[in-house]
């Protein structure tokens, strides 16, 4: 399979993720969309790495996963804290800080 | 440090010191300041006389006090040029000043600003002396303005009176208008000749194109018009009568106003080189002489009448210098200084006696109450009317004769008519004020002035009687002519004599004109043969014109003052506040506007933040394509 | 003593700063001590500056009292001080006016006394520094920081719309100076491109060759900076506001010293650095200057506020100075420089008097005054002398400057000079009219009945200025003989490029009039 | 192989779309798991079985469990759905299309560098991908590895701080 | 095939350890501080605070010991050189000042202290790692590390809705941007086959040297990669239009943390951007300078315009920091030796002026949590002469008035940009900074020239005003204008003094700092 196809798939998933972030207002879903974006990048890295006969990209994927895990922890922490304060995870309710 | 140097610079030093002393320490001197100030001027007068003799028997000289402005190629020193012209002016200036000073001691006795008065009077004398002895245009210009300033401050001496301070201001500003021209003349002269020194300039005149010289001469003449109150800048002088009367006598009759004439005489080389300029001088002089006399006919303010007569007489002098008869002009200047100073002093004496009353209609029959004043006034009036053997006769006739003989008949006719009118209006004053029934407020205690005032008047009156004989006709053989003519030998003879009408014929015409004027006045005001009212009614438009001073003030007000003020208001309110400042503030408020608009981007909604970010990404990616 | 003379400029610059440190240790409550000490220190500063005059060699254009230390070697910036005939007098003016304005504030400044004196002394440091520095970066450093103390002085002790005025002042002049900074940096970089080393030494930067088109653009950049400071006609609107609302001392310094920086900037930087552009743009700038002369005069005429009137008169006077400077004849430039001093002295004095009037009457509206001459003869006399000096009456200082400017400019710019000369008529009109309405006539406002004359302190405040007016008027030689060599040298720097100018003229058919 | 790729692609894209369109977060989460599995499938296709395992363990296992836990904890599936702004949606669609078009254009027009590495599929299969990754991770990338551990620790602290009810 | 024995080579380990020594010290101390949590008594007092300060001191010592060397550690993941030294010192100062500010402030809230300080230390170490990382993995990892600490610290004030909201916004946006960053690195990797910055640099140089044509279609991958990578970095640098988090996060975060974000994160982001930009971007791939040009102008214009009307001082400083980012970027655009060293210089100056301003904001917030409204600053010039003067000085420095470091920094970067003939850019920047002066001056006006009428007006509708832009979640309304009396504690005073000292020193005698920056830049290029 050509490398471009992989990258296209990665691009599609990345864009879908970005789209999700743009349209959804549920914090959890936004977070999941972000995870989609990360995964798209991972897919790209692995594909490129495989194509170039290198390993560094694969290593990168591992670190992205680690970071994703860490972010998941933070994100859900924030979601819980936010939910406690506002009783919702609608990000439109995060409107206290504005000019 | 020769004697000449010392004498020359001592002359201005005394009045200068006087100004300084009374200005700073006037209140410690109390009444003595007047005496000491007068003494200072008298010393100046004596020194001037010494200088006069030195110059008469030797020759003129130049002396430099110190280098004044040395900027690059512009080098001017405080230096004096002493020749016959300047010494004669010096003697006249210091002499009249001394008398006026002495007179003022009495006149200003009870005034609060006694010291201030003498301080400025001394300053004026100093400035006038410097003006006369200056050897370069810059110095001349400086003291030209300085006398203008003294005039300003002395006219507005009684500053509480709005009219007085207005008049002072007006005098200064109108003078400035003239000086504006004068200054440009100086600039032009400097750039064409590269110097401001008289001698050098005069030497270079022939090498300058005539047109340039004409322009220069006209510009310098503009200054003279302002200073000597010629039409159209004469408006300040009548108003200047708000000042103390001795000031009018000294500044606005004898000395300062004649500075214009002196200046032209001084620059005879330039003026005579340009015939056109001289003709302009003649025309203005002729017109002003007539014009001012015309206005003087119907006025009731005694001082204003004399003021208009001054303007008129100055017109004669300009006629003289306009036709190249500089000596005649100077002669009339000297004699006029004496008799006009006299007239003013006597008028002051009348005022003194009447507690400041100036309106002719409230006088009458004063002859019996103040004999000295009346007699001296009549002497002055006769001199002004040109009745022999008073000085006015000799000097005015010298001018009119020259005018006629040089072929300026029109000017001559006007001159004669003016002479008639002059005699009429001054005797109108004499007859109304000193004779006939008294209209004086009965509560007033009319009294003769003290000795300290009358003595200078008497001296001047005698001078008015004597001085004319220096110029016994025919004028170009007289003492005065032979003394002064030497200084004008460099003048270009642009207006040669074309007639040789004997002097006595012309004099006769003048005397007749004068007598006719006196007689008319006699008929009208003593005999009451004709009721003045009827004449007034017959010549209603002309009378109104004359009575309202030809509406010159109103015209100026309408075409200059008001437009300038409203234009200024426009500049300030519209251009400055609305447009320029508005633009500046507009920039600020537009920033505030945009700042508020940024709230749309920074609205606190996470969604829109993400949107902004993504749009940024899209735009950046897009940039690669469009590049 | 040797040391003292050698580092005199540095001492002059940092002495006020040291004084500030001294003042910092004095208790805020002890206002009397603060006032006296600050005044005495500024007097000492002035006396120091007189040494500058004494040890200045008049017959050379070379910079004197030169001090040079490395500062930022990377940029070739150095602590490079030196004065010539022009900056000498401007420094003297600065020290004198600071002293004068400090005494004048004894009664005017009632609160925050300590801050006021500290700020004034800081301001002095920076003003002197600006005049003394020959290094562009150093100059700019002093130049721009100067705004800040002034801003505080206007904003904290001003009247009426003081905050608006202060902010306007700062922002307006700051905008100008930042654009100017652009020009200066550009020249600095161009010099680097040509020679391969960085330097901010102004004497070296003079040798930069800049293509003509660029010169014109850069000149416009520098022009904006300096013109706003002066201020030249369309950029003047900060001035009336700032002058009007500032406290007396602020107005005095603002008019007396700060306005001079613009002209000084042109003289020291814009014109010698960009000589060809100067030659080409001079007619335009002169036109602007002449418009300023008339505009300032006409607008002054209808002002109702005394201070605003004097402020607009500054616009008019600065127009004259611009005319003289850009006419670029030796005489007119001499005149301009002298007129700089004169304007500082005269307008400074005028503001002092207006301040005294305000202190007594608590109003600045001309209509509220009248008849003061009767109550306060000394005030009247001295005020009148200042007014007359401002009008340009001969015998006083203003005349010499104006006359030299006009006579020097006349040759090349005849029509414009004539128009400018008419400004002297208007000057007489608005100032005398103002004077009449304020001092003469009869008292109409009952408040003026309690008007009192000047006290000794106030007389001492204005006396130096009045004496200088007479001195310069009667004997300007000591000033001119020091200014003259500098000016001639300045013109030779520009004239060096004269032949190029002639070429340009041939090509473009530009004429000078 | 190709067929598998298409299958995985379709699953991945479809489930990704589902993730962002489902109203119930729980459904979204399940689709996300599906997506992760599809991506793991890709990894297998690319001979990175270790990564595929990691993908399933870390993402589908750990992270998604956490997400689901939170959804359950907050009872999010029950609360009324959060409306999507139509206006916002419109702009988002446009932006999405442009962004996608741009990225796709870049990908299609561009090309990768020529393969230069030594770790061909054959070699990887010979040595074993886990071993190679291990070698790299503990030699060349030892330091990032250490940093990652600290990062995780910090994340733990953070999660603990955020989730705690009160200090 | 790798040689496993490398790992056991002492030289290798030693080198590696040396290269991370300064970070390691901080991390170790961070752990120690964290352990204090276990001891109730220790954690309540000021111990974590002092320990943190000490750790920074130790780290500084190590840096001084190591400075002058170039150490390439852990297979090129980390490089320690003069460039890092310069920025380490900056970051350590930022951390030091943040810690100094935190002491009193954080005690106002019921929050655990050891975690707080250890997170700051972790943050500091992550920034240092970021600055010295030399590998895209390391870059990504450190950025995430840094971000995560920042998210946690931003939301540290539990129960404070503003704080949580700030963390939320920051997190979502930050992660979103990180996704772009990593997606970008995919393409960079695809185009070059390397993750090591130097290797990428060599690769691009070798291709570029062969001529433009050799880029071929790789260029497209490189371009998209670099653009997306730039987005991720620009987010951290808060450049418009990736700035959106800045005002909200700055506003909601505890003020010391705001300072930490404004100084530490910003300079770390700029430093790594500088490094990456000079290594990778600055080639003929695409005119990135034009992009940056646009970003710089937009950032400063937006920042300045938005700041004009904001009345909350933290927001105002946030907008100002966006604008400042624009100015700093000018140095990078200007490029070359002077541009880069100018950027470093500006960054260093920026730390102190911003930190100084925040220190004073913290000082007043300590007295009165509602004091964030600028109106509350009215008259403090007289109540607190020294502090207010210092504030004025910092604001002037931010505005770029001479005698301050702000001016020297601006001058430096502007000169460099003009040297590269970015005339219009500099002109716009200068005009911008003229207008920017307005809002800095606005604060000074409040401090020194309070308008009495304005006070009355604002007190009547103070309720609405405070809800919109007030400080913490205190809803008590303080009608007494001006900040209430109080004593500023020593830590803050020290912080203010340090900032004042450096701001002044860099403004008057910048030469030492310039030399320092030059050395750093030299080391950046002597690979």
Nearest Cβ partner for B614 among D85, D99, D106: D99
Question: What ipTM was estimated for this complex?
Answer: 0.88
Whichever domain contains D61, its CATH number is 1.20.120.1200
Subunits with 3+ C-beta pairs closer than 8 A to C: B, E
Q: Quick check: C461 and C378 in contact, CB under 8 A?
A: no
Rank B347-356, B618-627, E344-353, E479-488 by mean pLDDT and report only the highest.
E344-353
Read off the pLDDT of residues B52-110 as tens digits, 9 standing for 90 and up: 888 888 888 888 888 888 877 788 888 888 888 888 888 888 888 888 888 888 888 87
Tell me the residue range of the domain where D7 lies: 1-77
Walk along chain D (167 residues) and give the pLDDT tens digit of each residue. 788 889 999 999 999 998 888 888 888 888 999 999 999 999 988 888 888 998 888 888 888 888 888 888 877 666 566 566 777 788 888 888 888 888 888 888 877 777 777 888 888 888 888 888 888 888 888 888 989 999 999 998 888 888 877 66
CB-nearest to C185 from E415, E448, E514 is E415
pTM beyond 0.95: the answer is no
Chain E contact for A89, CB < 8 A? Answer: no
A68 touches chain B (CB under 8 A): no
Q: Are the beta carbons of E458 and E342 closer than 8 angstroms?
A: no
pLDDT in tens, B580-593: 888 888 888 888 88
Closest Cα to residue B184, out of C426, C414, C331, C398? C414
Chosen from D90, D102, D106, D109 to mutate, greatest number of chain B CBs within 10 A: D102
**Contact yes or no for C167 and E414 at CB 8 A:** no
Give the tens place of pLDDT for each residue, A48-77.
Answer: 888 888 888 888 999 999 999 899 888 888
Which of E168, E176, E308 lies closest to B610 in CB terms? Answer: E176
* Higher pLDDT among residues C220 and B365, named by residue: C220
Asked if C72 and E514 come within 8 Å (Cβ–Cβ), the reply is: yes
User: Which chain D residues are within 8 Å of E161, Cβ to Cβ?
Assistant: none
Average pLDDT, chain B: 84
Query: Does residue C306 contact residue C430 with C-beta atoms inside 8 Å?
Result: no
Q: Does D94 reside within a domain?
A: no
- The sign of the CA dihedral A29, A35, A36, A38 is positive
Asked if B175 contacts B195 with a C-beta cutoff of 8 angstroms, the reply is no
Q: Which residues of B touch E235 (CB under 8 A)?
A: 613
Contact B186, B197 (CB under 8 A): no
| pLDDT for position E471 | 37
Q: Cβ–Cβ contacts within 10 Å for residue C368, how many?
A: 18
Kindly tell me the sign of the dihedral angle through the C-alpha atoms of A90, A94, A95, A96: positive
Distance from CA of A27 to the nearest CA of B (A): 11
pLDDT at E127: 92
Quickly state the pLDDT bin for C502 (edges 50, 70, 90). low
Q: Which residues of E fall within a CB distance of 8 Å from A83?
A: none
Residue B232 gets which letter from DSSP? T
Percent of residues in chain D assigned helix, strand, coil, to nearest 5: 80, 0, 20
**Is residue C353 scored above 50 in pLDDT?**
yes
CB-based contact (8 Å) between C463 and chain B? no
**C504 lies within 8 A of chain B by CB:** no
Q: Does E269 touch chain C (CB under 8 A)?
A: no
| Each residue's pLDDT tens digit, C81-135 | 998 888 899 999 999 999 998 888 888 887 788 888 999 999 999 999 999 999 9
pLDDT of residue E459: 40
Question: d(Cα C508, Cα C504) in Å, to the nearest integer?
Answer: 6
Q: Which residue of E has its CA nearest to A52?
A: E193
pLDDT of residue E211: 60
**Whole-number pLDDT of residue E464:** 38
Chain B residues near residue C487 by CB distance under 8 angstroms: 72
Do the Cβ atoms of B612 and E168 come within 8 Å?
no
Is A84 within 8 Å of D165 when comparing Cβ atoms? yes
Residues B253-265 pLDDT 10s: 888 888 888 888 8
- With beta carbons under 8 A apart, name residues in chain B contacting D97: none
| Dist CA C330 CA C496 (whole Å) | 14
Instruction: Say yes or no for a CB contact (<8 Å) between D39 and A7.
Output: no
**Contact call for A78 and E161, based on CB within 8 A:** no
Positions of chain E with pLDDT under 70: 1-10, 210-216, 284-286, 369-371, 451-486, 526-527
Eight-class DSSP state of C368: G
- Using alpha carbons only, how large is chain A's radius of gyration in Å? 17
Q: Does domain A3-90 have CATH number 2.70.150.10?
A: no
Contact C444, C361 (CB under 8 A): no
pLDDT at position E452, please? 57
Report how far residue D8's alpha carbon sits from residue C501's, in angstroms, rounded to the nearest whole number: 78
D54: contact with A, CB 8 A cutoff: yes
Task: Please give the radius of gyration of chain C, using alpha carbons only, rounded to the nearest integer.
Answer: 22
Q: How far apart are CA B168 and CA B145, in angstroms?
A: 14
Please report the pLDDT score of residue E352 as a whole number.
92
Helices B84-107 and B326-353 cross at an angle (nearest 10°) of 0
Cβ neighbours of D59 in A, within 8 Å: 35, 39, 65, 68
C-beta separation of E170 from E154 below 8 A: yes
Residue A16, C-beta contacts closer than 8 angstroms, at least 6 positions apart: A33, A36, D13, D16, D17, D19, D20
What is the C-alpha to C-alpha distance for residues E478 and E369, in angstroms, rounded to an integer?
10
What pLDDT band is residue B526 in, cutting at 50, 70 and 90? confident
Residue E49 distance to chain B (closest CA, Å): 34
Of the partner residues E155, E161, E183, the one whose CB lies closest to the CB of residue A41: E183
Asked if D99 is an interface residue toward chain B (Cβ–Cβ < 8 A), one would say: yes
Classify residue D39: in a domain, yes or no.
yes
- What does the H/E/C string look like for B500-555? CCCHHHHHHHHHHHHHHHHHHHHHHHHCCCCCHHHHHHHCHHHHHHHHCHHHHHHH
CA distance B332 to B362: 33
**Pairing between β-strand E78-80 and β-strand E71-73 as defined by DSSP bridges:** antiparallel
Each residue of B540-566: pLDDT tens digit? 888 888 888 878 888 888 888 888 888
Q: Is E493 exposed, middle or buried (0-12, 13-18, 19+ CB in 10 A)?
A: middle
Asked if residue B70 lies in contact with residue B23, where contact means CB atoms within 8 angstroms, the answer is: no
Q: What is the extent of the structural domain holding C336?
A: 274-513
Residues 421-440 of C with CB under 8 A from B: 421-422, 424-425, 428-429, 432-433, 436, 439-440
What chain A residue is nearest to D88 in terms of C-alpha separation? A23
State how far Cα C397 lies from the chain centre. Answer: 15
- In 3-state terms, chain B is what percent helix, strand and coil (to 5)? 80, 5, 20
Q: Is the peptide bond before B389 cis (omega within 30 degrees of 0)?
A: yes
Q: Does residue D61 belong to any structural domain of this protein?
A: yes
- The answer to whether residue C175 sits within a structural domain is no
Residues 56-95 in A contacting D (C-alpha not used; CB under 8 Å):
56, 58-59, 61-63, 65-74, 76-81, 83-84, 88-90, 92
Rounded distance between C-alpha atoms, residue E274 and residue E516, angstroms: 16
User: Is D7 inside a domain boundary?
Assistant: yes
- Closest CB from E140, E152, E251 relative to A74: E152
Q: Of the candidates E290, E291, E306, which has its C-beta nearest B602's C-beta?
A: E306
pLDDT of residue C503: 52
Chains near A with 3+ CB pairs less than 8 A apart are B, D, E
Question: In A, which residues are within 8 Å of B610 by CB distance?
Answer: 21-22
The per-residue pLDDT for range C67-79, each reduced to its tens digit, is 999 888 888 889 9
Which of E418, E431, E515 shows the shortest C-beta gap to C185? Answer: E418
Q: Are B245 and B465 in contact (CB under 8 A)?
A: no
- Contact criterion met (CB < 8 Å) for A22 and D88: yes
pLDDT at B148 over 70: yes
Give the mean pLDDT of C409-414.
85
Q: How many CB atoms lie within 10 A of CB C46?
A: 20
Window from B364-368, C4-8, C129-133, D16-20 with minimum mean pLDDT: B364-368
The answer to whether residue C256 is domain-embedded is no
Q: Would you call E189 and A48 a contact, using CB atoms and an 8 Å cutoff?
A: yes
Cβ atoms of B129 and B255 closer than 8 Å: no
Our CA-based measurement puts residue A42 at a distance from the nearest CA of chain D, in whole angstroms, of: 9
Does C11 fall in a domain?
A: no
How confident is the model at residue E350, as a pLDDT? 92
Beta strand pairing call for C64-72 and B74-82: unpaired
Provide the pLDDT for residue E336.
82
Q: Helices (DSSP H) in E75-159: which residue ranges?
A: 82-107, 113-132, 136-154
Distance from the C316 Cα atom to the nearest Cα atom in chain E, whole angstroms? 27
Is D7 an 8 Å CB contact of chain A?
no
Out of E402, E442, E509, the one facing C140 most closely (by C-beta) is: E402
Per-residue model confidence as pLDDT tens digits over B101-139:
888 888 888 777 788 888 888 888 888 888 888 888 888
């Amino acid at each position: 399979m050509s490398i471009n196809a992989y990258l296209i798939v990665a691009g599609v998933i990345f864009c879908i993720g970005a789209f999700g972030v743009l349209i959804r207002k549920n914090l959890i879903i936004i977070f999941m969309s972000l995870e989609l974006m990360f995964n798209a990048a991972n897919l790209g890295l692995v594909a490129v790495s495989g194509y170039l006969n290198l390993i560094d990209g694969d290593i990168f994927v591992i670190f992205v996963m680690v970071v994703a895990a860490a972010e998941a922890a933070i994100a859900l922490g924030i979601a819980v804290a936010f939910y406690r304060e506002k009783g919702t995870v609608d990000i439109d309710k995060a409107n206290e800080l504005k000019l | 440090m020769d004697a000449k140097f010392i004498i020359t610079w001592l002359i201005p030093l005394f009045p200068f010191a006087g100004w300084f002393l009374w200005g700073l320490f006037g209140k410690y001197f109390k009444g003595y300041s007047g005496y000491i100030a007068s003494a200072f001027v008298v010393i100046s007068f004596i020194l001037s006389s010494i200088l006069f003799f030195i110059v008469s028997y030797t020759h003129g000289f130049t002396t430099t006090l110190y280098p004044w402005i040395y900027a690059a190629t512009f080098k001017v020193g405080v230096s004096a040029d002493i020749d016959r012209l300047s010494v004669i002016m010096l003697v006249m200036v210091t002499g009249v000043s001394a008398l006026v000073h002495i007179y003022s001691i009495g006149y200003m006795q009870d005034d609060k600003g006694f010291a201030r008065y003498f301080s400025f009077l001394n300053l004026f004398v100093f400035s006038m002396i410097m003006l006369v002895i200056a050897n370069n245009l810059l110095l001349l210009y400086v003291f030209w303005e300085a006398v203008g300033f003294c005039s300003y401050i002395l006219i507005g001496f009684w500053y509480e009176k709005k009219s007085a301070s207005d008049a002072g201001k007006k005098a200064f500003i109108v003078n400035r208008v003239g000086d504006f021209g004068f200054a440009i003349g100086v600039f032009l002269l400097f750039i064409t000749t590269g110097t401001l020194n008289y001698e050098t300039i005069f030497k270079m005149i022939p090498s300058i194109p005539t047109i340039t010289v004409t322009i220069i001469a006209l510009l310098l003449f503009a200054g003279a018009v302002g200073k000597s109150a010629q039409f159209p800048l004469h408006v300040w002088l009548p108003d200047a009568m708000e000042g103390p009367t001795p000031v009018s006598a000294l500044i606005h009759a004898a000395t300062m106003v004649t500075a214009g004439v002196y200046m032209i005489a001084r620059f005879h080389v330039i003026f005579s080189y340009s015939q056109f300029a001289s003709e302009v001088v003649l025309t203005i002089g002729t017109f002003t002489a007539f014009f001012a006399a015309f206005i003087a006919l119907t006025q009731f303010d005694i001082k204003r009448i004399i003021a208009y007569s001054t303007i008129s007489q100055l017109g004669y002098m300009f006629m003289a210098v306009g036709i190249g008869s500089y000596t005649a002009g100077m002669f009339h200047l000297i004699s006029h200084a004496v008799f006009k100073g006299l007239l003013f002093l006597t008028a002051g004496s009348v005022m003194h006696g009447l507690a400041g009353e100036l309106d002719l209609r409230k006088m009458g029959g004063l002859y019996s109450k103040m004999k000295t004043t009346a007699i001296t006034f009549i002497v002055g009036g006769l001199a002004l009317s040109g009745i022999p053997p008073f000085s006015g006769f000799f000097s005015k006739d010298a001018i009119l004769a020259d005018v006629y003989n040089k072929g300026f008949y029109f000017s001559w006719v006007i001159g004669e008519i003016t002479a008639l009118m002059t005699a009429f209006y001054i005797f109108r004053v004499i007859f109304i004020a000193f004779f006939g029934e008294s209209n004086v407020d009965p509560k007033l205690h009319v009294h003769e002035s003290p000795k300290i005032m009358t003595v200078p008047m008497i001296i001047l009156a005698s001078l008015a009687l004597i001085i004319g004989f220096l110029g016994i006709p025919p004028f170009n053989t007289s003492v005065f002519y032979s003394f002064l003519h030497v200084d004008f030998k460099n003048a270009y003879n642009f207006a040669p004599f074309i007639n040789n009408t004997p002097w006595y014929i012309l004099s006769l015409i003048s005397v007749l004109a004068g007598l006719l004027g006196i007689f008319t006045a006699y008929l009208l005001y003593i005999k009451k043969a004709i009721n003045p009212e009827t004449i007034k009614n017959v010549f209603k438009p002309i009378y109104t014109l004359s009575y309202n001073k030809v509406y010159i003030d109103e015209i100026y007000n309408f075409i200059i003052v008001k437009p300038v003020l409203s234009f200024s208001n426009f500049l300030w309110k519209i251009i400055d506040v609305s447009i320029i400042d508005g633009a500046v503030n507009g920039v600020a408020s537009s920033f505030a506007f945009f700042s508020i608009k940024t709230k749309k981007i920074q609205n606190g909604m996470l969604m829109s933040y993400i949107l902004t970010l993504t749009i940024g990404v899209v735009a950046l990616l897009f940039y690669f394509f469009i590049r | 003593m040797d040391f003292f003379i050698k580092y005199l400029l540095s001492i002059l610059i940092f002495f006020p700063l040291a004084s500030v440190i001294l003042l910092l240790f004095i208790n805020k409550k002890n206002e009397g001590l603060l006032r006296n000490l600050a005044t005495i220190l500024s007097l000492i500063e002035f006396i120091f500056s007189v040494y500058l005059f004494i040890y200045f060699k008049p017959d050379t254009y070379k910079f004197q009292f030169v001090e040079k230390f490395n500062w930022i070697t990377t940029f070739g910036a150095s602590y490079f001080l030196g004065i010539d005939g022009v900056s000498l007098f401007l420094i003297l003016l600065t020290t004198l006016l600071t002293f004068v304005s400090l005494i004048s504030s004894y009664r005017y400044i009632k609160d925050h006394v300590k801050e006021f004196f500290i700020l004034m002394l800081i301001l002095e440091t920076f003003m002197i520094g600006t005049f003394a520095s020959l290094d562009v970066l150093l100059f700019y450093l002093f130049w721009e920081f100067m705004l800040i103390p002034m801003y505080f002085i206007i904003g904290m002790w001003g009247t009426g719309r003081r905050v608006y005025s202060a902010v306007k002042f700062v922002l307006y002049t700051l905008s100008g100076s930042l654009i100017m900074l652009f020009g200066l940096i550009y020249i600095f970089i161009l010099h680097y491109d040509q020679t391969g080393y960085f330097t901010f030494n102004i004497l070296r930067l003079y040798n930069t060759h800049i293509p003509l088109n660029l010169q014109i653009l850069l000149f416009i950049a520098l022009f904006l900076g300096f013109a706003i400071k002066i201020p030249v006609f369309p950029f003047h609107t900060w001035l009336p506001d700032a002058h009007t609302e500032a406290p007396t001392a602020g107005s005095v310094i603002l008019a007396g010293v700060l306005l001079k920086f613009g002209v000084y900037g042109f003289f020291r930087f814009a014109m010698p650095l960009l000589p060809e552009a100067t030659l080409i743009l001079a007619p335009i700038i002169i036109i602007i200057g002449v418009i300023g002369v008339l505009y300032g005069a006409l607008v002054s005429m209808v002002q109702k506020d005394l201070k605003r009137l004097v402020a607009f008169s500054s616009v008019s006077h600065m127009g004259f100075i611009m005319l003289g400077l850009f006419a670029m004849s030796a005489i007119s430039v001499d005149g301009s420089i002298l007129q700089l001093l004169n304007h500082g002295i005269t307008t400074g004095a005028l503001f002092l008097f207006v301040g005294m009037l305000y202190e007594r009457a608590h109003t600045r509206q001309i209509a509220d005054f009248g008849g003061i001459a009767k109550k306060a003869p000394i005030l009247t006399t001295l005020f009148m002398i200042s007014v007359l000096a401002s009008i340009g009456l001969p015998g006083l200082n203003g005349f010499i400057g104006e006359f030299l400017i006009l006579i020097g400019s006349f040759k090349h710019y005849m029509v414009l000079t004539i128009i400018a000369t008419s400004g002297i008529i208007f000057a007489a009109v608005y100032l005398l009219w103002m004077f009449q309405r304020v001092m003469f006539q009869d008292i109409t406002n009952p408040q003026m009945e309690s008007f009192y004359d000047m006290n000794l302190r106030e007389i001492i405040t204005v006396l130096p200025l009045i004496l200088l007016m007479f001195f310069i008027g009667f004997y300007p030689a000591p000033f001119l003989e020091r200014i003259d060599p500098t000016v001639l040298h300045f013109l030779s720097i520009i004239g060096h490029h004269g032949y190029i100018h002639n070429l340009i003229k041939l090509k473009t058919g530009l004429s000078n009039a | 192989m190709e067929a598998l790729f298409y299958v995985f692609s379709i699953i991945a894209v479809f489930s990704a779309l589902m993730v962002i369109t489902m109203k119930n977060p729980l459904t979204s989460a399940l689709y996300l798991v599906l997506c992760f599995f599809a991506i793991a499938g890709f990894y297998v296709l690319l001979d990175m079985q270790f990564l595929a395992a990691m993908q399933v363990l870390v993402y589908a296992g750990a992270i998604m469990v956490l997400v689901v836990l939170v959804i359950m904890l907050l009872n999010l599936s029950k609360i009324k759905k959060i409306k999507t702004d139509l206006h916002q949606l419109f702009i988002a669609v446009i932006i999405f299309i442009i962004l996608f078009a741009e990225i796709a254009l870049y990908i299609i027009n561009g090309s990768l560098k020529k393969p230069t590495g030594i770790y061909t599929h054959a070699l990887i299969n010979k040595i074993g991908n886990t071993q190679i990754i291990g070698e790299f991770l503990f030699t060349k990338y030892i330091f990032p590895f250490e940093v990652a551990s600290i990062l995780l620790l910090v994340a733990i602290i953070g999660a603990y701080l955020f989730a705690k009810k009160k200090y | 095939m790798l040689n496993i024995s490398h790992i056991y080579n002492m030289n290798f380990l030693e080198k590696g350890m040396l290269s991370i020594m300064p970070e390691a010290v901080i991390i170790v101390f961070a752990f120690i501080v964290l352990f204090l949590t276990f001891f109730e008594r220790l954690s309540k007092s000021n111990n974590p605070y002092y320990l943190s300060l000490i750790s920074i001191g130790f780290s500084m010592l190590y840096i001084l010991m190591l400075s002058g060397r170039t150490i390439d550690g852990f297979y090129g993941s980390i490089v320690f050189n003069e460039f890092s030294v310069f920025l380490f010192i900056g970051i350590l100062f930022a951390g030091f000042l943040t810690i100094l500010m935190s002491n009193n402030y954080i005690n106002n809230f019921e929050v655990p202290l050891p975690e707080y300080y250890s997170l700051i230390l972790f943050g500091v170490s992550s920034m240092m790692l970021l600055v010295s990382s030399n590998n895209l993995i390391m870059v990504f990892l450190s950025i995430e590390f840094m971000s995560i600490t920042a998210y946690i610290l931003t939301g540290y004030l539990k129960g404070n809705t503003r704080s949580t909201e700030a963390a939320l916004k920051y997190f979502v946006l930050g992660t979103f941007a990180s996704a772009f960053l990593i997606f970008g690195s995919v393409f960079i990797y695809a185009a070059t086959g390397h993750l090591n910055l130097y290797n990428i640099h060599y690769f691009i140089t070798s291709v570029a040297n062969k001529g433009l044509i050799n880029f071929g279609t790789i260029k497209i991958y490189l371009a998209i990669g670099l653009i997306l990578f730039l987005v991720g970095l620009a987010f951290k640098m808060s450049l418009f239009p990736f700035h959106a988090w800045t005002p909200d996060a700055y506003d909601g975060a505890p003020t010391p943390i705001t300072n930490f974000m404004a100084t530490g994160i910003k300079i770390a982001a700029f430093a790594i951007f500088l490094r990456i930009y000079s290594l990778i971007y600055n080639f003929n791939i695409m005119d990135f300078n034009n992009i940056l040009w646009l970003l710089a102008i937009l950032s400063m214009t937006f920042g300045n315009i938005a700041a004009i009307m904001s009345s909350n001082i933290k927001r105002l400083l946030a907008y100002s920091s966006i604008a400042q980012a624009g100015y700093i970027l000018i140095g990078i655009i200007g490029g070359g030796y002077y541009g880069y060293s100018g950027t470093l210089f500006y960054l260093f100056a920026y730390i102190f002026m911003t930190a100084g301003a925040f220190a004073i904001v913290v000082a007043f917030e300590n007295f009165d949590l509602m004091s964030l409204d600028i109106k509350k600053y009215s008259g403090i010039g007289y109540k607190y002469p020294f502090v207010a003067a210092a504030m004025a000085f910092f604001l002037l420095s931010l505005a770029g008035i001479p005698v301050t470091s702000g001016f020297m920094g601006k001058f430096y970067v502007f000169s460099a940009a003009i040297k590269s003939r970015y005339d219009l850019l500099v002109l716009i920047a200068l005009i911008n900074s003229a207008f920017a002066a307005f809002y800095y001056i606005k604060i000074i006006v409040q401090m020194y020239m309070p308008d009495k009428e304005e006070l009355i007006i604002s007190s009547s509708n103070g309720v609405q005003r405070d809800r919109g832009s007030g400080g913490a979640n205190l809803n008590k309304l303080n009608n007494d204008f001006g900040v209430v009396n109080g004593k500023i504690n020593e830590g803050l005073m020290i912080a203010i003094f340090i900032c004042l000292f450096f701001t002044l020193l860099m403004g008057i005698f910048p030469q030492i700092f310039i030399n320092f920056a030059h050395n750093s830049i030299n080391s950046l290029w002597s690979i």
